[in-house]
Every structure is written in C-alpha cells, then in structure tokens.
C-alpha cells in the first residue's frame, strides 16, 4: 500500500522491571501478581484510573519502545503517531501478557493458547470504582442504544464498548477493544456485584485463538480521549496493496424519508439527480433492489447513476441476523463462491460499494465473516459499510475499504420510535465522546424536515452533525426537495463537505451537554458545535492552537431557520438555541 508508512518498533530487550510509565510521564501501569493497576497524573499526584485482573503475572521477559507512524485514508487524522513502551510478562498458566503504555492510554492482550480457555480467552475483571461518573451503553447486537449518564447497574447487566468514565480534575477514561482477528470473538462487559466493577467476556467462539484482542483504555482530558487514534494504532497495518480506488465522500440516501428501501426506480432517479446537482459523489441504492417495480432492475438504477457521474452503492442482507421478514437481497454473500460471483458482478456493472446489514452480534463466526467480506470486496474495488453490526475495533486501518460502520443509535430511529425526538439532542452531544471516538460512525445525519416521528433540533444543529461526526461515507438523511430548497450557502457547504480529515481537535464540551469540534481538510477548518440541552447555551471556545487559519469565515448559526454570515474574523463564542448548533467554515 503506497500511502501507508511501515510501523517502526525499536527493541530494547531488558530483563529488569523498568518504570512502567508512558513516554510523557502521565500514565503508569503496574503489572504484578494477579493484576494490572493503571494510574494517571498531570503535574500532581498519581490518580488511580482502573485495575484489571490477570492471574499469575510473573517475570518481565522483554521491554521495547514503540514509536509508530502511519497514514490513514480516512478517519479523524491522516498522519498518526503513537509513542509508547511495551512490556512482556510470563504467566503462571504458561502464556504471556503483553502490556503497552502509551501517551494516551494503556492496552494489554494475552498471547499463546495456554493462557486462554475454550471460549477464546479468560474473562478479565476490571474495576473503575474510583470514577465519579460513567456513560454506559446497554449491549445489543446492533450496538444501537443510548449512553445515559450514570445509568443504574446490577449484577449480570451486559454493556457494550466503548464505556466512558469520569474522574476528578477533568480526567476521563474510555474502555474499548482493538484488533479483532478471524479467530477472535469480540468482547463486552458484565456488571459484578461491586460498584464500578465489570467482567470483560469474549463472545462465543469455536476456536482457541493464538492471542486475545487488545483491551484498551484511553486516558487523559476529554481532548486526549476524543483525539486519540490508539484503536487503529493497535490494529494491524493495511493488508490492501493498491488503495488508490478508495475514495471517501458524501452520499444521497433514500431510506430516512420513506422508511423503505429502494425498489422504485423513479425515487432512485430523484436521489441521483440531487447528488448530481449538489456534486455528491455517491448515491446509496438501499434494500429491496431485488424487487424493482415497473419492469426495472437494479442494473437500470446503477446505469442511471453512472451515466450522471454519481457512484452507486448497493445494499445486501448479511443473512446471518435478521432474515425472516427482513428485506433482501438475501443469501448472496454467505459462502466464498457466491460472494466472489456477486462482488465480481458488482464491479462489472459499475457498483462502487456495498452496504451489508443485519449481523448477529460479536461471536467469532460474525467476526470471521465480516473480515472475509472486507477481503473479498477489496479484490473487486468495493467500499464496505457495515450496518446492524458490531463496534469498529480498528479494521479501518487494516482494511481501509471499510468506509463506515453503523453501530450507533442514529437518525434512522426517527422512523421507528417516538423516543428519539426528545432524546436526540443530548444523545448527539454524547456520541463525540463515546462511539465516534473509536471509528467511523454512519449516523446518517442532517435532516431539515421530519421523518415518521418529528425532530426538534434546529437546522444549524442538523447541519453541524455532518462535520461533527466522522464517517468515511456520510449519508445525508433528508429528502432531495428539502436539501435543494436550502440557501445557496448551505447547498455549497454540502457540495464541498469532506468526509476524511487531516486533523481533529476537540475545542470544548461535556458529554450530553454540548460539544465544539474542529476538523481540518487541507487549508480549510470546519468548526462544528451543538447544544444537547433544552435551554439556550453560549458555547465558548478557543481557536488559538489551530494552524493555518484563514480569514474567509462563513458562520451557519441558529436563526429562523438560518442565521448565515460571512466575515474575516473568527468568533470564539456563539449563542445556541435549545437543541441548537452552528458550523463555522474557515478557508
């Protein structure tokens, strides 16, 4: 892969137990006896963050410095660098513990079959008892749930990654997982009967893997956590030789407005026409394209898109999760021969990507299937968007054709239940600190009209989501007539919107209340903010550390419905309406 820089691992073998601190001296991990203890300090005393139970930790057998630089094709940052120290310990069970301490977090994994059980790996007890607040997501196989603050827990409750914890002095920790291989199952959390204690348990596995996944804790202030790329750092480098065909971008998307798939050729034409007018590179042909009406076929829809310079993406049912009563096409990807035939046909007719939906959780069979889908799709130059699927765990580095993953309670839920209307604003202001930290998130943002259930966020709030949320493919939710009726400044904004970023900075915020994020593409900054509360809110933020700031400033703020202004000065405070927002574009 010509754009990926080979990782550099500098070995410094040592038999002694050196200081287990990060290169910047802020994070410390002590592995001894039956536990790993993790602490943090920023100029003061060491503060306990968490501990993890790993039985029988004995002698330190190896120490090495990690200094890794690599390039991402999409995500929150193009050029990534991670500095840390790796320690390897022998275990009484006969396996090994690999512990890494980075400037922005700690990760550990178990190596060799001797250290794992029949279900893939031993459960690991972790304690966050010293945390004052938490944001936990109830586990469901699609990872579509809210992250409420301090939700009550009881023994046996099941929680999903990532989980966010707050401590005193503005310190936070985000617990998640990285680097799932074909022989791994993904993991989740179960509450114990002790406050702040959980057990990390791997889902069902038919194999005993050679190594576990990386259990990962991002640590620091909110900016340290949000800006961290540790999940991709811990994952394998790119396995695709030629990546020149992988192009992030914005897509027109039919489902939100109709609560239905794409079996009507005339509707697909309408969304394709919108994409052409707004210069969006992609259009998604959603479910049910195997049941086109009026004698048309999906090939007619694909041809119409390509003839108009729009790249088509088409939908598939994974056929391992929701099958009976679910839309199709079904059972076209489940074995290697069928998958090869289908993806070759996609490539031949001009399809540029596939959206694959309705997986069935975190077990090893799903993980293996998803990796095989990514590998097969790459052979045929197809982008992949997983829906109804597990949390991203670093695959976007290994397989950069994975342009996005749902795994989020997103805007499509305005179709399903009335609950989302009142909770969306606070939920939207929580996702930048939780779900979107760990990988591209196909929330399907930006709707100025209503779906089956109304939304009560402002126009500026909705527009802000397009830059606030990172997704390699950003599917716009609203109707073509709504987007095309917006002011010229809004239409131009959507036409120019990047979906892969050179740099990301958190400027201000607190989970569930508000957030202000700055993202840079080339020499243009997009500063997006939203209000997650039901009251007026004044967002204050500093841009003094943003490089290459220009003087061509456009502000999209709350109005009736818009307040759009151009200036040569950059504001550092903006008033937002209840559930409001803003976007500032600085060229």
The CATH code of the domain that includes 179 is 2.70.98.10
Q: Is the dihedral of CA 300, 305, 309, 310 positive or negative?
A: negative
Q: How far is the C-alpha of 183 from the C-alpha of 364, rounded, in Å?
A: 6
Residue 78 in tokens: 């193009």
Domain count, the chain: 3
Q: Residue 268 pLDDT > 60, yes or no? A: yes
Same domain membership, residue 489 and residue 509:
no
pLDDT of residue 207: 74
Domain that holds residue 108: 9-128+165-187+204-233
Q: What does pLDDT average to over the chain?
A: 94
Predicted confidence (pLDDT) at residue 115 exceeds the cutoff of 90? no
User: Residue 4 above 60 pLDDT?
Assistant: no
pLDDT at 10: 34
Q: Is residue 194 part of a domain?
A: no
pLDDT, tens digit, for every residue of 229-240? 999 999 999 999
Which position has the higher pLDDT, 548 or 228? 228
Domain-embedded: residue 156: no
Query: Do 411 and 559 have their domain in common?
Result: no
| Angle between helices 419-428 and 459-468 in degrees, nearest 10 | 50
Statement to judge: residues 534 and 574 lie in one domain: yes
In this structure, what CATH number is given to the domain that contains residue 526?
A: 2.60.40.1180
- Phi and psi for 488 in degrees, rounded to 5? -55, -35
Calculate mean pLDDT across residues 459-488.
98
Do residues 66 and 100 touch, judged by C-beta distance below 8 A? Answer: yes
Banded pLDDT at 121 (limits 50, 70, 90): low
In the prediction, which pLDDT does 11 show? Answer: 35
Q: Does 479 lie in the same domain as 571? A: no
Mean pLDDT across 571-586: 97
End position of a domain, from candidates 452, 477, 497: 497
Residue 153 maps to a domain? no
- Residue 283 confidence (pLDDT): 98
In this prediction, residue 372 carries a pLDDT of 98
Domain assignment present for residue 140? The answer is: no
Task: Report residue 451 CA to chain centroid gap.
Answer: 25
Q: Which of 457, 473, 497 is the last residue of a domain?
A: 497
The 3-state DSSP class for residue 427 equals: helix
77 domain-assigned: yes
Same domain? For 404 and 269 the reply is: yes
Measure the CA dihedral 128/134/140/145, to 10°: -170
| 295 shares a domain with 181 | no
Average pLDDT of the segment spanning 302-321: 98
pLDDT digits (tens, 9 = 90+) for 512-567: 999 999 999 999 999 999 999 999 999 999 998 898 788 899 999 999 999 999 98
pLDDT score of 184 more than 50: yes
Which pLDDT value is given to residue 16? Answer: 37
Say yes or no: 457 and 539 in one domain.
no
Give the per-residue pLDDT at 260: 85
Per-residue pLDDT tens over the stretch 138-165: 999 999 999 999 999 999 999 999 999 9
Q: Flag whether pLDDT at 7 surpasses 80.
A: no
CB atoms within 10 A of CB 37: 18
Do 304 and 210 belong to one domain?
Answer: no
Give the global pTM: 0.95
**Residue 278 half-sphere exposure, CB side, CA atoms within 13 Å?**
34
Q: Which residue has the higher pLDDT, 13 or 175?
A: 175
pLDDT tens per residue across span 345-358: 999 999 999 999 99
Comparing CA positions, the residue from 459, 463, 404 lying closest to residue 282 is 404
pLDDT at 275: 98
Structure confidence at residue 116 (pLDDT): 55
Q: Which of 4-8, 399-403, 430-434, 476-480 has the least mean pLDDT? A: 4-8
Domain shared by 350 and 476, yes or no: yes
Q: Is residue 261 part of a domain?
A: yes
What mean pLDDT do residues 29-48 have?
A: 94
Same domain? 370 vs 481: yes
- Phi first, then psi: what are they for 421, rounded to 5°? -55, -50
pLDDT at 454: 97
My answer on whether 225 and 271 are in the same domain is: no
User: Closest Cα to residue 282, out of 329, 246, 327?
Assistant: 246
In a domain, 240, yes or no: no
68: three-class secondary structure by DSSP: strand
210 — pLDDT class (breaks 50, 70, 90): confident
Give percent of the chain above pLDDT 90.
89
Residue 273: name the closest of 320, 308, 226 by CA.
308
Domain at 464, CATH number: 3.20.20.70
Indicate if the pLDDT at residue 92 is higher than 50: yes
Q: Is 198 part of any domain?
A: no
- Which letter, b or e, does each residue of 157-190 get, where b requires 16 or more Cβ atoms within 10 Å of its Cβ? bebbbbbbbbbeeebbbbbbbbbbbebbbbbbbb
**Do residues 556 and 582 make contact, with C-beta atoms less than 8 angstroms apart?**
yes
Verify that 371 and 489 share a domain, yes or no.
yes
Domain end residue (candidates: 464, 497, 530)? 497
b/e per residue, 316-338, with b = 16+ CB within 10 A? bbbbbbbeeeebbbbebbeeeee
For 295-310, how does the pLDDT look when each residue is reduced to its tens digit (9 = 90+)? 999 999 999 999 999 9
pLDDT at 545: 85
The Cα-based distances of 517 to 74, 187, 551 in angstroms read: 17, 30, 19
């Amino acid at each position: 892969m010509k754009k990926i820089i080979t990782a550099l691992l500098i070995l410094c073998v040592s038999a002694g137990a050196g200081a287990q601190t990060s290169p910047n001296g802020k994070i410390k991990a002590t592995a001894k006896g039956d536990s790993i203890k993790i602490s943090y300090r920023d100029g003061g005393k060491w503060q306990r963050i968490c501990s993890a139970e790993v039985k029988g930790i004995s002698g330190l057998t190896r120490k090495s410095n990690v200094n890794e630089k690599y390039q991402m094709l999409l995500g929150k940052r193009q050029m990534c660098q991670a500095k840390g120290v790796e320690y390897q310990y022998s275990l009484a069970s006969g396996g090994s513990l690999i512990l890494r301490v980075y400037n922005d977090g700690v990760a550990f994994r178990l190596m060799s079959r001797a250290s794992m059980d029949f279900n893939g790996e031993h459960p690991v007890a972790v304690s966050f008892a010293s945390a004052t607040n938490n944001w936990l997501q109830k586990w469901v196989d699609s990872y579509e749930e809210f992250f409420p603050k301090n939700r009550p827990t009881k023994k046996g409750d099941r929680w999903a990654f990532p989980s966010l914890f707050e401590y005193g002095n503005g310190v936070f920790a985000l617990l998640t997982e990285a680097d799932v291989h074909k022989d791994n199952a993904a993991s989740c959390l179960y509450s114990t009967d002790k406050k702040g204690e959980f057990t990390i348990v791997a889902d069902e596995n038919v194999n005993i893997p050679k190594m576990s996944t990386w259990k990962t804790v991002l640590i620091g202030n909110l900016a340290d956590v949000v800006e961290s790329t540790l999940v991709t750092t811990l994952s394998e480098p790119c396995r695709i030789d030629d990546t020149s065909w992988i192009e992030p971008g914005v897509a027109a998307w039919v489902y939100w407005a109709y609560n239905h798939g794409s079996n009507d050729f005339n509707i697909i034409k309408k969304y394709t026409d919108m994409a052409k007018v707004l210069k969006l590179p992609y259009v998604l042909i959603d479910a049910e394209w195997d049941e086109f009406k009026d004698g048309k076929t999906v090939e007619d829809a694909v041809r119409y898109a390509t003839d108009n310079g729009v790249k088509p993406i088409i939908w598939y049912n994974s056929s391992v999760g929701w099958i009976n009563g679910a839309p199709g096409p079904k059972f076209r990807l489940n074995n290697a021969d069928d998958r090869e035939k289908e993806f070759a046909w996609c490539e031949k007719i001009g399809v540029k990507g596939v959206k694959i939906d309705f997986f069935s959780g975190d077990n090893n069979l799903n993980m293996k299937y998803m990796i095989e889908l990514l590998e097969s799709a790459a052979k045929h130059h197809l982008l992949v968007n997983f829906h109804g699927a597990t949390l991203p765990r670093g695959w976007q580095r290994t397989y950069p054709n994975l342009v996005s993953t749902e795994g989020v309670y997103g805007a499509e839920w305005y179709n399903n239940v009335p609950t989302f209307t009142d909770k969306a604003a606070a939920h939207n202001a929580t996702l930048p600190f939780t779900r979107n930290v760990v990988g591209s998130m196909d929330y399907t943002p930006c709707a100025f009209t209503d779906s089956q259930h109304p939304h009560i966020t402002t126009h500026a709030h909705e527009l802000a989501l397009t830059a606030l949320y990172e997704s390699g493919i950003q599917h716009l939710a609203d109707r073509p007539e709504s987007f095309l009726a917006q002011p010229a400044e809004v239409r131009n904004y959507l036409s120019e919107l990047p979906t892969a970023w050179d740099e990301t900075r958190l400027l201000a915020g607190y989970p569930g209340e508000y957030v202000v994020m700055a993202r840079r593409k080339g020499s243009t900054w997009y500063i997006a903010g939203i209000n997650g509360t039901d009251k007026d809110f004044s967002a204050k933020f500093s841009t003094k550390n943003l490089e290459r700031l220009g003087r061509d400033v456009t502000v999209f703020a709350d109005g009736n419905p818009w307040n759009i202004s151009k200036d040569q000065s950059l504001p550092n405070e903006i008033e937002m309406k209840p559930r409001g927002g803003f976007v500032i574009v600085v060229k």
